[in-house]
Amino acid sequence: MLALQEKYRKEVVPAMEKAFGYRNGMTVPRIAKVVVNAGVGRIRDEKQLGAIVQALTLITGQKPAPRPARKAIAAFKTRQGLLVGYQVTLRGTRMWDFLLRLIAIAIPRLRDFRGIGVRSFDPRGNLTIGFSEHIVFPEMVGEDVPLMFGLEVTVVTTARKREEGIQLLKLLGLPLNEEPRA
């Protein structure tokens, strides 16, 4: 069993029961899934798209699914069905493994990092973090990186309130910065 999942069961569940008054451990919010998105923008070269797919596969351990545009937008020069990004949905063991690497390695490698702002949480307690460079992930160390791209990681929780989601991820070890930015 993974260390982060064990920490959730042994430390986070009792702390959440105490903090929010849950009567049963099964009612404590948990992490449902982690979604990793990468937009390809105006990239149309098959070689570059292949490099993005390969990098996402290395980072997540799972092949990304292509995401076509839902509708045409002239300002963005997109047509319906045009490839606009890739998405990976992680659950179970891969999700816990990815979260551990995210917390322990990727986030501390960010430049000028002062903690994840609580403004990144939505009203349902889900967290979305944007990375401007994919090379902060440990799988990219030593790799020949032909192009740089950004990605977005969304941690989806079963929390009903924003405060529950914040507390859940804080107890799991995510470095949160609760000071509002000026």
Residue 52: how many other CB atoms lie within 10 Å: 21
- Mean pLDDT in residue range 114-135: 88
Structure-model confidence comparison of residues 89 and 1, the more confident one: 89
pLDDT of 133-182, one tens digit each?
Answer: 887 887 776 666 677 888 999 999 999 999 999 999 999 998 888 765 54
Work out the average pLDDT over 64-85: 81
The structural domains of the chain, with segments of one domain joined by +, span 45-85+136-172
0.95 cut: is pTM over it? no
**pLDDT tens digits, 18-54:** 999 998 889 999 999 999 999 887 777 788 888 889 8
Q: What is the predicted pLDDT for the residue at 182? A: 45
Helix axes 162-172, 13-20, angle to 10 degrees: 150
Cβ–Cβ contacts within 10 Å for residue 73, how many? 13
CB neighbour class for 95 (10 Å; exposed up to 12, middle 13-18, buried from 19): buried
pLDDT given for residue 143 in this prediction: 64
Percent of the residues in the chain that have a pLDDT greater than 90, as a whole number:
45
